[in-house]
Structure 1
Amino acid sequence: MKAAVFHRPGKITCDTVDDPKLEKPDDIIVRVTATAICGSDLHIYDGFLPQLKNMVLGHEFMGIVEDAGAAVTSVAKGDRVVVPFPVACGGCFFCGHGLPGHCEHSNDNYGPEGGLLKQKGGALFGYTDLYGGYDGGQAEYVRVPYANFGPRKVNPDFSDEQVLFLTDIFPTGYTAIDWANLQGGETVAVFGCGPVGLMAQKVAWLKGAGRVIGIDREPYRLETAQRTAKSETINFKDTDPVEAIREMTDGRGADVCVDAVGLEAERSVLDKLGNIVHMQMGTINALRMCCSAVRRGGHVSIVGVYGMSYDNFPIGQIFDKGLKLSAGQAPVHKYIDDLIDHVESGRVQLDDIITHRLSLDQVSHGYDIFKKKQDNCVKVVLTP
């Protein structure tokens, strides 16, 4: 089969690899009909998350069940399904408590410690050996384990593009806002107008926000936020976003700030030098801006990816302002059934952020333009 294979940082190509096979009784094989490139994939592409051997990438995918193990009862051959990006068993302590991203059984590297090279939580599709080593869905076929817990059948009346983002970016944006427990009328500022940030802005309105602000440095992404999420926008290349948000909120700051950027935010020369001294990669600049822009007693949701500890973490500011922080992978399995209902009822549109539709053969080009923010690229969908 054809698949997007990571070889080394900066090199992902469409290669011919072996077809996946059923390995356990509750496995299924999915023939992929649509998949996407995610901002989180760039962390592997750029070398921020280490991967030493070739691997099929991709954790946003859907398709048709091609084969099913003898113990699979929730789906059957021929069913059309979307697949949550965490690989989760459904039966352990964490899965039972609505935390499938911390599944105790899906990842051989599982452990309570956490950190870049330490014990991890549950596995993720196509997301390095640290996260289980499962081949991903940027491919013609993919093996999906624990098929009685993860995959969800989708309404045949909806196109692939209308439901594909139920796999990751819509649940992740939803998680960021749900953690903040909006009561209605709040000002929500979302740092980052990439795919996850756009979804968080859409969800903020669903949850009753009174004002939604998107912050980015790319004019085309800010235009997308205005068009698809009806957000007010701030270009932080031209305007100090912290001061702007305070001016918009009577000097207090936003009720909720979402970090939808993570470690690959813009860095200064001093940041880069500091990384060498402290043996760090990336930056927490987006998080710092969130902690400054949020009001006292406000909530900061962190759904941008961070893989390690950082020097100069603003704990004093967090303590003085009495901030509430939530962070981590989206518990997709917890939310997905309600989110399917949001899509089917027409309360939210997901496919209006797609800018590029490419064949799987064009995956190298897709990663290149997404990484370099070329050709006004917001979201790439691939067809195997």
Structure 2
Amino acid sequence: MKALTWQGKRKIEVSEVPDPRIEEPGDIIIKVTSSAICGSDLHLYELMGPYMHAGDIMGHEPMGIVEETGPAVTRVKVGDRVVIPFNISCGHCWMCERGLQSQCETTQVRDQAKGAALFGFSELYGSVPGGQAEYLRVPHADYGAVVVGRDLPDHRYLFLSDILPTAWQGVEYADVPQGGTLAVFGLGPVGQLAARIGVHRGYQVIGVDPVPERREMAARHGIETMDFDKHIAARLQEKTVRGPDAVLDAVGMEAHGSPGATLMQNATGLLPDSLAQKAMENFSVDRTAVLHAAVSSVRRGGTLSLSGVYSGAATPMPLLEMFDKQIQIRQGQCNVRKWTETLVPLAEDPTDPLGLDDLVTHTVPLDKGPELYETFQKKGDGCIKVVLKP
């Protein structure tokens, strides 16, 4: 089959790889009909090379049609249309039973001291082949695969794999009071959906992003927008009197405006993999321009919700300001299956309350994937969300 494979920093190729096969009784094989490129894929494309191997299959936002089932699979049937959550969870362990599917004790990557295994996401999370391919093996499919209807186009369901539940959890964690104010930093795919969820819930939502096309998309959905600059905290406090009740950071470790951290990240990438891994596990720092701006922006006693991915082992934080302002922080990988039953009806609602029909900016064949990785990373051609069609 064809698949997008990692071959080095900023180097994605279309490769011929072996078709997946049933390996465990609970597996299924799906024929992928749509698979998105996620902002988290860009971390592998740019920074996480020391944990990647040439030939790793990319992608963790797939959906498709079930082609084959293992002997222990009873709920999912051949021919079902399914969405596949990015984290692989069993549904019956202590963590899953408490809605912490991203910490699934059955699939935890213990040799890396990490949580649940993820599709297409480096040896840190199990080196499980991803879904930017023609076919995908799905473990623990009776719990993980989300069976959906056939009457709506793929994009109405595809985002249930990651970015829609990630945005929903981020807003839940933001703990915005009724009628309160939510600032969303970063209007990429997760930030767009988080801002729309805030509007759906009746909050005053302010979206912050330096890219005009992203601000324009958000504005179409009733979101007030601001450019990001060094005065953003003062501007938000002026607009909201005390500052937003909550700030959701949908940017993460590759934020613009942190030249020192960028230099360190680039220098680490030049080391041999074994040394780079040790450096990343002990001395690495994230680009914190957005994170620190979020801390400065939120009102005293407010909440900071982190949906953007951070991985720095030695990232400096403004603890004096955080303690003085009495900020609470919620964060972590999304527990996708916790939110499925809430989100499927919203995805299927004919009124499209979250604007899922207005998110995809580029739909291309799998063969065009490598060039769209570059376009997405550079934020060129108005690129906000890419869907691949194997």
Question: TM-score range, shorter-chain basis?
Answer: over 0.9
1:182 touches 1:208 (CA, 8 Å); kept in 2? no
Q: 1:272: Cα distance to partner?
A: 4.1
Partner of 2:47: 47
**1:324 equivalent in structure 2:** 328
**Equivalent residue number for residue 374 of structure 1:** 380
- After superposing the two structures, state which structure 1 stretch, 365-374 or 313-322, moved more: 313-322
In 2, Cα distance between equivalents of 1:185 and 1:308: 35
Query: Given that residues 343 and 349 in structure 1 are in contact (C-alpha distance below 8 angstroms), is that contact kept between their aligned partners in structure 2?
Result: no
* Unmatched 5+ stretches in structure 1: 112-117
Show the counterpart of 2:257: 267
Q: Equivalent residue for 2:193?
A: 199
CA RMSD of aligned residues (A): 1.7
CA contact (8 A) 1:104 1:110 kept: no
Instruction: Confirm or deny: 8 A CA contact 2:29 2:68 kept in the other structure.
Output: yes
Q: Distance between the aligned counterparts of 1:325 and 1:258, measured in 2?
A: 10
Contact preservation (8 Å) 1:93, 1:104 = yes
Aligned to 2:304: 300
Q: Distance in 1 between matches of 2:67 and 2:95?
A: 30
Aligned equivalents of 2:264, 2:110: Cα separation in 1 = 30
Distance in 1 separating the partners of 2:371 and 2:315: 35
| Other-structure match for 2:247 | 257
Q: How many aligned residue pairs are there?
A: 373
Instruction: Report the 3-state secondary structure (helix = DSSP H, G, I; strand = E; otherwise coil) of the residue aligned with 1:72.
Output: coil
Q: Which residue of 1 aligns with 2:35?
A: 35
Query: What residue is the counterpart of 2:218 in the other structure?
Result: 225
Residues 180 and 299 of structure 1 are in contact (CA less than 8 Å); yes or no, is this contact kept in structure 2? yes
Deviations 1:214-273 (A, max 9, x none): 11111111111112x321111114x721111011011x1100100100000013434445
Residue number in structure 1 paired with 2:364: 358
User: Aligned equivalents of 1:52 and 1:305: distance in 2?
Assistant: 21
Displacement of 1:281 in angstroms is 4.5
1:307–1:235 Cα change, 3 Å? same
The answer to whether the Cα contact below 8 Å between 1:84 and 1:151 also exists between their aligned partners in 2 is yes
Amino acid of the structure 2 residue aligned with 1:61 = P
User: Letter of the aligned partner of 1:359 in structure 2?
Assistant: P
CA distance in 2, matches of 1:78, 1:101: 28
Q: 1:74 to 1:126 in 2, by over 3 A?
A: same
Q: Does 1:143 align with 2:133?
A: no
Indicate the residue corresponding to 2:288 in structure 1.
284
Alignment gaps of 5+ in structure 2: 268-278
Instruction: Give the counterpart of 2:128 among 111, 134, 141.
Output: 134
Deviation at 1:110, TM superposition (A): 2.3
Shift of 1:85: 0.8
Q: Mean Cα displacement is larger for which, 41-50 or 265-274?
A: 265-274
Q: Partner amino acid for 1:313?
A: M
Give the distance between the partners of 2:360 and 2:69, measured in 1 at CA: 31
Cα drift, residue 309 of structure 1: 2.4
For residue 300 of structure 2, give the secondary structure of its aligned residue in structure 1: strand
Report the secondary structure of 2:12's partner residue. Answer: strand
Contact 1:255 1:295 in 2 (8 A): yes
The equivalent residue for 1:248 is: 239
Whichever structure has more strand as a proportion of its residues is 1
CA distance in 2, matches of 1:38, 1:352: 16
Aligned partner of 1:4 in structure 2 is 4
